[in-house]
Amino acid sequence: MKTSVAKTASNSIAADQDAPAIFVKKLSKAFGARKALDNVSFSLPRGSFLTIFGHNGAGKSTLLRILATLARSSGGNAEVLGYNLVQNPESLRAHIGLISHKSMLYLDLTAEENLLIAARLYGVGAMNDGDSSCADFARGNNSDCAARVNNLLSAVGLTSRRHDVVRGFSRGMTQRLAIARALIHNPRLVLLDEPYSGLDPNAVVVLDKLIAEVRESDNKRTFCMVSHDLQKGLQMATHVLILERGRVALFGERASLGDDNISKCYYASLGIQDDSAKFKDIMARPQDTPANLKGDFARPKDTSAKPKDTSPQANLSAMPNDTSVQGNLSANNDALARSTSQQNQGKEALR
């Protein structure tokens, strides 16, 4: 019987199941004198989808790395799924799936082998004692593990490439396999750092479908996604966090904040100011939201006056004299002829 993508061996849940999915208080991270995060505080309930927006260098990826226990904060407190990040990082890692800018895949192994190794590391499927069972597990003979790998390869559209070495994959294929690896152990918290980067339109649809299926399978599973795409990020979000220079510029439920206010705050953090009408126009665009150029964002207003023609032809016609090469040569020839005529007239007068 075919198993659902979201179904696998059960993982132990954090002791305090009533605790928020993410709770941070005055969280800071400094790199020398520069603060990547500065007193960040928020609480995210379980089952939420948090989208994090912010300019480059705002601290988005740094925050995700801390939540994934890959970096330690410089100050403040943080708990994920009831686990303290400093005291219980090892226990927490079993419940986190991370999709980052790095694929974290073995490039010289096949797609199937990468997923089998990840499944074994996370203990997907029951294993019997003895070396032979470990070898069977590594070969995918464990039924639970094999089913999980097969389902995820199918979900990300890589079944036909399961025996191909990852080094030969395109950027989009590698990203899709990395997503499957992050979901192999059915994590309680999924951290996504710009997961749509490098994906073609078809792969975007595949990822949308996969995330929707995983969300529907468990309403307590939490997602935390970093994105620069306002339209895509808002479509998926239940909660929004906007970081500006390492500080919280805006946090709350999307429904309570309103898309207009979120848009204004986000673009203001990028140094872009405009009225709400244009923000609505931006949101209506199909996947072409401008991210950092004022010129692209601020469209010229329609005016009744005819705009000044600044074309090269208009500039040439407005010139008082002919400044072309031929014009200059003609003028020089005329001047030389007049000079010669005057000299001849002088000579005749002397005679």
pLDDT tens digits along 16-38: 667 899 999 999 999 998 999 99
189 lies in some domain: yes
Among all chains, which residue has been given the structure tokens 């990547």? 36
What is the value of pTM for the model shown?
A: 0.69
**pLDDT at residue number 45:** 95
**Of the given ranges (102-106, 107-111, 164-168, 329-333), which has the lowest mean pLDDT?**
329-333
Domain assignment of residue 215, given as a range: 22-296
336 lies in some domain: no
**Cα 73 from Cα 59, distance rounded (Å):** 12
Helix H or strand E segment including 49:
strand 49-54
- Residues 266-277, mean pLDDT to the nearest whole number: 74
Q: Which residues have CB under 8 Å from 8's CB, separation 6+?
A: 124, 125, 144, 148, 184, 185, 186
350 against 22, higher pLDDT? 22
**pLDDT at residue number 225:** 96
**pLDDT at residue number 68:** 94
117 lies in some domain: yes
CA neighbor of 137 nearest in space, from 95, 4, 148, 166? 148
- pLDDT score of 60 more than 70: yes
- Residues 287-296, mean pLDDT to the nearest whole number: 41
311 lies in some domain: no
pLDDT tens digits along 309-325: 555 555 555 555 554 54
Taking the CA atoms of 155, 156, 161 and 165 in sequence, report the sign of the dihedral they define. Answer: negative
CA distances from 250 to 52, 54, 266, 280, 281 (A): 10, 10, 9, 19, 22
CATH code, 92:
3.40.50.300
Tokens of 271: 């140094």
- Residues 81-106, mean pLDDT to the nearest whole number: 90
User: How many domains in the chain?
Assistant: 1
Burial of 272 (0-12, 13-18, 19+ CB in 10 A): buried
Residue 160 per-residue DSSP state: G
Contact present, 254 and 63 (Cβ < 8 Å) = no
CA distances from 319 to 313, 314, 316, 329 (A): 10, 9, 5, 17
Distance of CA 340 to the CA centre of its chain: 76
Q: What are phi and psi of 304, to 5 degrees?
A: -75, -30
- Residues 197-212, mean pLDDT to the nearest whole number: 85
**Of the given ranges (1-10, 40-49, 75-84, 304-313), which has the lowest mean pLDDT?**
1-10
CA distances from 331 to 32, 264, 320, 328, 335 (A): 69, 60, 14, 5, 6
Neighbours of 215 (CB within 10 A): 17
176 lies in some domain: yes
- Average pLDDT value over all residues in the chain: 78
**Cα 284 from Cα 73, distance rounded (Å):** 39
**pLDDT at residue number 203:** 82
245 lies in some domain: yes
34 lies in some domain: yes
226 lies in some domain: yes
Highest mean pLDDT among 9-13, 285-289, 312-316: 312-316
